[in-house]
Chain A
Amino acid sequence: GDSVTQMEGPVTLSEEAFLTINCTYTATGYPSLFWYVQYPGEGLQLLLKATKADDKGSNKGFEATYRKETTSFHLEKGSVQVSDSAVYFCALKIIGTYKYIFGTGTRLKVLA
């Protein structure tokens, strides 16, 4: 079946540190890949997405590249800020279908 595996948290970093949150997937069809973020007290927000192999999604300084050969979609940011503290969810959706398959979420805490 379809699944998403992401690194367990929590991840604690100092401000301006480099961030990587690993995400790998298995999919029976051709997936689109997503990163969602949930800031404290808020709902899930789409952070970035990629719909085909080698696409790079980017937003707010975050990037992730759709790697079909390694079935991965790792999230990176060169310099994190305290305001990036949140829970990050990797997800896939088979194109043409409606169900998201989410990972377990990774909590990021950035210290000043």
Chain B
Amino acid sequence: EAGVTQFPSHSVIEKGQTVTLRCDPISGHDNLYWYRRVMGKEIKFLLHFVKESKQDESGMPNNRFLAERTGGTYSTLKVQPAELEDSGVYFCASSYRTGDNEQFFGPGTRLTVL
């Protein structure tokens, strides 16, 4: 069974540009989560989808971030326009049920904003 996949693995952009990150969850997992780790700090929750619906986006830093999950399959996270402080590693995770103890994480996308 394929795990959670993320694309790209690394993105380098200039301040002011737009970047879109993609996450493909494990097949059959209705729950999809985005997390972020900036500059060696803790990994922080960004938001949670159940199928195509956003259940909780309380961790989204500001309105420059837009997450979508059309059709309830893969998800995208767009940053527009990107700022220097957005640099970090963006992790996606999925789980079958909302309260499942284990979420399965992808390899992450390392975003560098210059």
B35 CB contacts on chain A under 8 angstroms: 100, 102
Complex: how many Å from CA A99 to CA B40?
20
Q: How far is the CB of A97 from chain B (nearest CB, A)?
A: 7
User: Is there an interface contact between B106 and A43, defined as CB atoms closer than 8 Å?
Assistant: yes
A102 CB contacts on chain B under 8 angstroms: 35, 37, 42-44
Asked if A36 CB lies within 8 Å of chain B CBs, one says yes
User: Is there an interface contact between B99 and A100, defined as CB atoms closer than 8 Å?
Assistant: no
Interface size class on chain A is 20 to 34
Point out the residue from A42, A96, A105 that lies within 8 Å of B99, measured CB to CB.
Answer: A96
Q: How far is the CB of B22 from chain A (nearest CB, A)?
A: 15
B41 CB contacts on chain A under 8 angstroms: 104
Q: How many residues from B make CB contacts under 8 Å with A?
A: 28
User: Is there an interface contact between B102 and A49, defined as CB atoms closer than 8 Å?
Assistant: yes
A95 CB contacts on chain B under 8 angstroms: 99, 101
Q: How far is the CB of A57 from chain B (nearest CB, A)?
A: 12
B43 CB contacts on chain A under 8 angstroms: 44, 89, 91, 100, 102, 105
User: Is there an interface contact between A46 and B102, defined as CB atoms closer than 8 Å?
Assistant: yes
B55 CB contacts on chain A under 8 angstroms: 98
B 99-114 binary contact with A (CB < 8 Å = 1; else 0): 1011101111000000
User: Can you list 8 contacts pairing A with B, beta carbon distance less than 8 Å?
Assistant: A36-B105, A43-B4, A43-B106, A43-B108, A93-B101, A98-B31, A100-B43, A100-B45
Contact residues of B with A, CB < 8 Å?
3-4, 6, 31, 33, 35, 37, 40-45, 48, 55-56, 91, 93, 95, 98-99, 101-103, 105-108
